[in-house]
Amino acid sequence: MALISALSAITGDFASSIVKVPREVITARLQTAHYDSLYRASPASSHAWITINAIFRQEGLPGFFRGFWSTTARDWPFMVILFTTYESFKLHHHRIAMPSASPFASHRPLPPAVAVSNANANAVADDLDDSDDVTITTFKSTIFGGISGGLAGYLTTPFDVIRTRIMTHKASSTTPAASNALSMFSIARSIWNAPPATKSSWARSRFSGFFVGATARSVWWFCVCSMFFPIYEAGKESLRSVYTASSIRHSRMDMPAMNM
């Protein structure tokens, strides 16, 4: 279940990158005052419009997709960590708190008509969810989702740092084009080889360079996912209830025809 959710999220995220990456390029350059001289030259103009115009004029359409693959390298592990961690929390909770629970099972003998209706409802429910799906409270989905999002955000910070460096890199007109070429490996190497503030912090600074902003990123994703997953679970449960009730009504309406 967790792997299916993660792969589905990766597919959707990859498709959305067509819109997401240009937005992130523009946002990153706005936040870092990438075209500060142009902003000062045209104070009456929108900074966003100046940024969009400058990217297109200097780099063409490919400029809006700078860092596409570094964004993908950040988002794919993020989705895998997020959904596998969240589903693992749910399954672990289910094994401890409800080892034999089955929300659609009935242990009482039922009349044949009701039994048939319930069997149809169970089949519909099985179509809606895999057997590993677990129903949890809103509070627990908030905590599980928040921790999963914070962990995924923290662990993928190195990819986010590399992506930001690529998107905000300023090419020099005085160096050859080959020297201005960017790759994830070259950015990672430049971070790793950056001189430390002090000799005693040399080893620590090499790793900390990849985790700049990790705390803020983790807090951000904790807040986002602690809101996303409870709403996701509530919506899923509501749709399951509506669909199952509809199935039972249709099954009971079909019973006279079956008896004939």
Backbone conformation region of residue 32, classed left if phi is above 0, alpha if psi is from -120 to 50, else beta: alpha
Residue 130 pLDDT level (bands cut at 50, 70, 90): very low
Rounded Cα distance, 248 and 255, in Å? 11
What confidence score (pLDDT) does residue 206 get? 74
Q: Has this prediction a pTM greater than 0.85?
A: no
164 C-beta neighbours (distance < 10 Å), count:
20
What confidence score (pLDDT) does residue 258 get? 52
Q: Is the pLDDT of residue 124 over 60?
A: no
Q: Is the pLDDT of residue 132 over 50?
A: no
> Which two structure tokens, joined as six digits, stand for 224?
């986002």
Contact 161, 246 (CB under 8 A): no
Residue 169 pLDDT level (bands cut at 50, 70, 90): confident
Phi, psi (rounded to 5 degrees) for 92: -65, -40
Higher-scoring residue by pLDDT: 127, 34: 34
Q: Give tens-digit pLDDT for 36-55.
A: 999 999 888 899 999 999 99
Q: Is the pLDDT of residue 115 over 80?
A: no
What confidence score (pLDDT) does residue 230 get? 93
Q: How far is residue 188 from each of residues 31, 127, 161, 162, measured CA to CA in Å? A: 22, 45, 9, 7
Q: Give tens-digit pLDDT for 67-77.
A: 899 999 999 99
What confidence score (pLDDT) does residue 14 get? 87
Q: Give tens-digit pLDDT for 192-243.
A: 887 766 555 555 667 888 999 999 999 999 999 999 999 988 888 888 888 7
Contact 197, 101 (CB under 8 A): no
Contact 103, 222 (CB under 8 A): no
Q: Give tens-digit pLDDT for 199-210.
A: 555 556 678 889
Residue 149 pLDDT level (bands cut at 50, 70, 90): very high
Q: What is the mean pLDDT of the chain?
A: 79
